Amino acid sequence: MSKQKAMSASSIVGEIFHVGLYKPTQGRITRQVTCASVWIVVLLATFKLYQTLYDAGEWQYIAPFALLIVGFWAAYRTVNYAKFADFLIAVEAEMNKVSWPSWAELVRSSIVVIFVILFLAAVLFGYDTVWRIIFTYLGVLK
């Protein structure tokens, strides 16, 4: 049991410092978009840390830069970690199976949804008005 824990811990450390790509030709788009999204979050966190450490001397620059480097590397390694990369590859494969609507179907469906939402808003406004009138007449509302 302890051998498995030691092996898994060493394999995780080895995976963190591994530079190569896992199955580089599969799930490329999904992995690139996922990595770019995490990089954007890291950039925003780095900028917020930079603002928070305003007038903190050299830490204002060192801490955000360290966070930026570690965050970028962690995102890159995460999308190339075998289990997560296999998940992203499966996601891309499933997305390729989806039958996407044509532009005309999309417009028609969007119009239907907008009209249904407006109709429901009008109905709820009517209910609200009727109940407001009833409660005002009963003296619950003034």
Give Cβ neighbours of residue 101 (< 8 Å, ≥ 6 apart): 109
What count of Cα atoms within 13 Å lies in the side-chain half-sphere of residue 79?
23
Does this model's pTM top 0.75? My answer is no
pLDDT of residue 11 exceeding 70, the answer is no
- Residue 4: pLDDT band by 50, 70, 90 thresholds? low
Helix (H, G, I), strand (E, B) or coil at 101: coil
Query: Which of 112, 17, 128 has the alpha carbon at shortest distance from 70?
Result: 17
pLDDT at 13: 65
Chain segment 56-110, per-residue pLDDT in tens: 777 788 889 999 999 999 888 888 888 888 999 999 999 989 998 999 999 999 9
Tokens matching residue 78:
């995460």
